[in-house]
A and B are shown apart, each in its own frame.
Chain A
Amino acid sequence: MPDNPFCTTIAEQLNTGILILDLEFNIVEWNRFFAIHAHKDAKDVIGKNVFSAFPELPQKWFERKLSSVIQLNTQSFCSWEQRHHLFELSHTRPITTDSHFMAQNCTFLPIVTDKVVNHICILIEDVTDVCHYQTKLNKALEELAKANRIDGLTQVFNRKHWEECLDQEFSRARRYDHGLALIMFDLDHFKLLNDTYGHQCGDMVLIETAQKISSLLRLCDQFGRYGGEEFAAILPETDLIGAIDVAERICREIEKLVINFQDKNIRISTSVGVAIISPNDKRYEDLISNADHALYEAKATGRNKVCAAKEIEYILEE
């Protein structure tokens, strides 16, 4: 450290690691903070090549990074967000965080003597704390974003997010003149089921039905809970025949589903309405309304069946 007594004291007491290298990457100097957290003897470090003293360093990356500092005579940085740590150092929160090594923000400074860069100073800040809380915050944000999209009971998309998906798919289909189908499901006699077996049974039926339908859809289809016992699926790039085929298959599978609740075997069925995008549809709500009409028809004409909205009907209604 420099001769100035202030500098010496500060450098030794600073809670920042200091490591000084020459242009051959030999270690010229380090401060107390670095020495303590590295758990190494000065004789194994001072005068030694940085890559032999700290074999954990990514050599090629490190050399290139330092070459920019030397050649451009400018400082360079490395953040824990991109690289958790460069040097394997201990840190001050070994008990209350799960970080094995100190998370580090590193600064590489050129040191100019006689108008040329002769040394590089590496500053290491301990940001284990920041890293710990930021990671927790990111996780919380992710969970919040998920909770915002998912229906708590059935774990499929909620109404709000599902409608946003439909809005996007609708404009995309419109813009590129692609197919788009909508299937709406309404469980038959659901109120009776709730009244007979209780709401816990109703909830279980909703969960199992949602799971069953999800498993029968493609990865690109978007499935959500539309309302109480209503579900809806968006099928991109799908024509009427394809959509009816999927709807029929789901209808048959739901009919076969046996749900065991308190030693009773419960069977259910669903009415299904299918609609596809037509030139008359100006907004995605039109598509919902067409599927809804078809669903109503399925309900009115005996339940446990699939009805499709007919193009001619749209025109007649208008």
Chain B
Amino acid sequence: MKNFNLNEDQQDCLQEIINVAMGQASDQLARYLDTFVYLKVPSIEQVSSQHLSDTLKSEAQSVAVVSQGFFGYEGIRGEALLMYQPKDSDRLADLLGYEPDELSVEEQIIDLSSILTTTFLNVFASQIDNQMSYSAPRLLFSSNSDKNTSSESSISEHIQHNSFNWDVALKVKISYQVTDYSFNCDMILLIPESAIINITSVIDRILEEY
């Protein structure tokens, strides 16, 4: 497996940018959702395409997964996966400020995913003088809607059925907790190898400025 060869300084710098982005994002979310949002210290690791489904299997039992692509200047791009556990969605409408009969559970999940992804990545991008654009979020898998027809019973199966045109990716995992609504979900950012090289050069520029 190839390595990104992020040295210690680069790794620290990336971790710091992500930590600051998390802090600001959780503050914005807390004000918008009018409740406290806790974010756990993110984990950053490298995954190979062969091992992606294994890696995600450990996040198993997700009842719904939403994917949203993101892309900025300087070749920075990737895909955000929002993974929801059973029972997480009970009070989502309430949390989002909608009436439960105004929108389906699927729509609530997609709506929240988009808010979590874009809030975090906007702050992340502004830290590195970049600007993100997003594709529309898409429900990859939901045990609610697929129970009758789909043979894919988990996200790892969903991913296993695909072949990839990338070898290694950077995986950033951030866990969100909204304790007042007993709600948890994980955000997993997957950044393909080519985009990592671009991020590395941005990090080097930041490090030089210090």
Binding site for B on A (CB under 8 A): 58, 60-61, 64-65, 68, 71-77, 79, 81-83, 105, 107, 141-142, 145
Given A64-B96, A83-B107, A142-B149, also A77-B114 (CB < 8 A): yes
CB neighbours of B39 from chain A (8 A): none
Closest to B112 in A: A68
Stretch at the interface among B14-22, B115-123, B160-168, B182-190: B115-123
CB neighbours of A83 from chain B (8 A): 107
A145 touches B149 (CB 8 A): yes
CB neighbours of A58 from chain B (8 A): 102
- B42 → chain A closest CB, angstroms: 20
Check B3 for interface membership: any CB of A closer than 8 A.
no
Contact of B110 among A72, A75, A79, A107 (CB under 8 A): A79
Closest to A73 in B: B122
Measured in the bound complex, the distance between the Cα atoms of B32 and A73 in whole Å is 11
A75 touches B138 (CB 8 A): no
Measured in the bound complex, the distance between the Cα atoms of B28 and A107 in whole Å is 21
Q: Number of A-B pairs whose CB atoms are under 8 Å? A: 57
Check B104 for interface membership: any CB of A closer than 8 A.
yes
Measured in the bound complex, the distance between the Cα atoms of B68 and A75 in whole Å is 12
CB neighbours of B136 from chain A (8 A): 77, 79, 105, 107
Closest to A144 in B: B149
Measured in the bound complex, the distance between the Cα atoms of B133 and A61 in whole Å is 24
CB neighbours of A71 from chain B (8 A): 31-32
Among B149-202, those with CB < 8 Å from A are 149
CB neighbours of A141 from chain B (8 A): 149
**Interface of A (DSSP majority class):** mixed
Check B78 for interface membership: any CB of A closer than 8 A.
no
CB neighbours of A79 from chain B (8 A): 110, 136-138
Q: A77-B136, A82-B107, A105-B136 are in contact. List 8 more A-B contacts (CB 8 A).
A: A74-B115, A74-B118, A75-B118, A76-B111, A77-B114, A82-B106, A142-B149, A145-B148
Given A82-B107, A141-B149, also A75-B134 (CB < 8 A): yes
- B145 → chain A closest CB, angstroms: 10
Closest to B138 in A: A79
Closest to B139 in A: A81
- B12 → chain A closest CB, angstroms: 28
CB neighbours of B98 from chain A (8 A): 60-61, 64
Interchain residue pairs A-B with the least CB separation, the first 4? A74-B118, A82-B107, A77-B136, A145-B149
Given A68-B32, A77-B137, A145-B148, also A60-B118 (CB < 8 A): no
- B136 → chain A closest CB, angstroms: 4
Q: Could you pull out 19 A-B pairs where Cβ atoms are within 8 angstroms? A: A58-B102, A60-B98, A60-B99, A61-B102, A61-B103, A71-B32, A72-B28, A72-B32, A73-B122, A74-B115, A75-B118, A75-B133, A77-B137, A79-B137, A81-B106, A83-B107, A105-B136, A141-B149, A142-B148
- A147 → chain B closest CB, angstroms: 12
Closest to A83 in B: B107
- A280 → chain B closest CB, angstroms: 31
Closest to B97 in A: A64
- B64 → chain A closest CB, angstroms: 13
Closest to B137 in A: A77
Interface string of B76-117 (1 = CB under 8 A from A): 000000000000000000001111001110110011001100
- A105 → chain B closest CB, angstroms: 6
Measured in the bound complex, the distance between the Cα atoms of B103 and A61 in whole Å is 8
CB neighbours of A74 from chain B (8 A): 115, 118-119, 122
* Interface-central residue, A61, A72, A73, A107, by most chain B CB under 10 Å: A72
Closest to B107 in A: A82
Measured in the bound complex, the distance between the Cα atoms of B108 and A83 in whole Å is 12
Measured in the bound complex, the distance between the Cα atoms of B138 and A82 in whole Å is 10
- A141 → chain B closest CB, angstroms: 6
Measured in the bound complex, the distance between the Cα atoms of B148 and A7 in whole Å is 48
B148 touches A82 (CB 8 A): no
CB neighbours of B104 from chain A (8 A): 82
Measured in the bound complex, the distance between the Cα atoms of B119 and A145 in whole Å is 40
CB neighbours of B149 from chain A (8 A): 141-142, 145
- B85 → chain A closest CB, angstroms: 21
A68 touches B115 (CB 8 A): yes
- A31 → chain B closest CB, angstroms: 20
Contact of B119 among A60, A72, A77, A107 (CB under 8 A): A72
Measured in the bound complex, the distance between the Cα atoms of B137 and A72 in whole Å is 17
CB neighbours of A76 from chain B (8 A): 111, 114-115, 118
Measured in the bound complex, the distance between the Cα atoms of B137 and A168 in whole Å is 35
